[in-house]
């Protein structure tokens, strides 16, 4: 039987998290007051999560994924252990979410501070793709 | 005049680093601070220009 597990992230901004998931092709639900997660066979995660990817959007997954704020305000990912082990919803997947989140956050900071966007490049490495964002000073 | 360029690299885990070209002295720290303020940069490194500027300041201080 599967069970939910919590995976640590450093993401704190809900807007960038939702944008990152949307960019990855999901249509996440936002539950401002938090909601419980319910997975395969009645498996539940009782701590409230604020961002949910419904199971139907996760091809072949047993359970929806949630992102819930911990006591310090940081989002932690809640993923079914079988989906993590066999469904590809693992640390690598979560790393892609974090990468996309960071890209959005960086673009927002650059815009706020008045830097001029000069381009984006994706560099393939043995560890995975790295995103390079270039800016110039006004 | 050389354009000041900032490259932010974001790895496959969402960790980021900043690389600066054309900056001298304190300008490096200001840029790193801008991006670190939004938690966008977790690592930063100083280029040769920074150390050249720092060495010039040190020499100037020794003369006085």
pTM of the model: 0.84
- Dihedral in degrees, nearest 10, Cα atoms B28, A120, A11, B26: 0
SS3 A89: coil
Nearest CA in chain A to B7: A134
**Are A132 and B31 a contacting pair at CB < 8 A?**
no
With contact defined as beta carbons under 8 Å apart, do B54 and B48 qualify?
no
* Chain B residues with beta carbon closer than 8 angstroms to that of A108: 38
Cα separation, A18 vs A53, whole angstroms: 10
pLDDT band per the 50, 70, 90 thresholds, residue B41: very low
Selecting from B3, B9, B40 the residue whose C-beta is nearest the C-beta of A130 gives B9
Nearest to A109 by CA among A129, A75, A133: A133
Identify the DSSP state of A57. G
Q: What integer pLDDT is reported at residue B37 of this predicted model?
A: 52
pLDDT band per the 50, 70, 90 thresholds, residue A43: confident
Selecting from A95, A108, A110 the residue whose C-beta is nearest the C-beta of B13 gives A95
A4-17 average pLDDT score = 94
A87-112 average pLDDT score = 95
């Amino acid at each position: 039987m599967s069970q939910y597990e919590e995976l640590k992230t450093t993401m704190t901004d809900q807007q960038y998290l939702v944008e990152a998931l949307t960019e990855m092709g999901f249509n996440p639900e936002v539950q401002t007051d938090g909601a419980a997660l319910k997975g395969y066979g009645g498996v539940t995660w009782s701590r409230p999560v604020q961002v949910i990817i419904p199971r139907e959007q996760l091809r072949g997954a047993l359970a929806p994924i949630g992102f819930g704020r911990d006591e310090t305000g940081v989002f932690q990912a809640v993923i079914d252990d079988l989906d993590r082990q066999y469904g590809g919803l693992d640390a690598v997947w979560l790393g892609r979410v974090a990468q996309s989140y960071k890209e959005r956050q960086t673009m927002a900071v650059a815009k706020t501070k008045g830097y001029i966007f000069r381009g984006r490049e994706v560099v393939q490495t043995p560890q995975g793709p790295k995103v390079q964002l270039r800016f110039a000073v006004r | 005049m050389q354009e000041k360029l900032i490259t932010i690299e974001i790895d496959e885990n969402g960790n980021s680093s900043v690389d600066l070209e054309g900056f001298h002295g304190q300008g490096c720290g200001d840029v790193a601070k801008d991006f670190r303020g939004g938690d966008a940069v977790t690592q930063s490194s100083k280029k040769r220009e920074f150390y050249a500027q720092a060495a010039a300041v040190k020499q100037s201080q020794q003369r006085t």
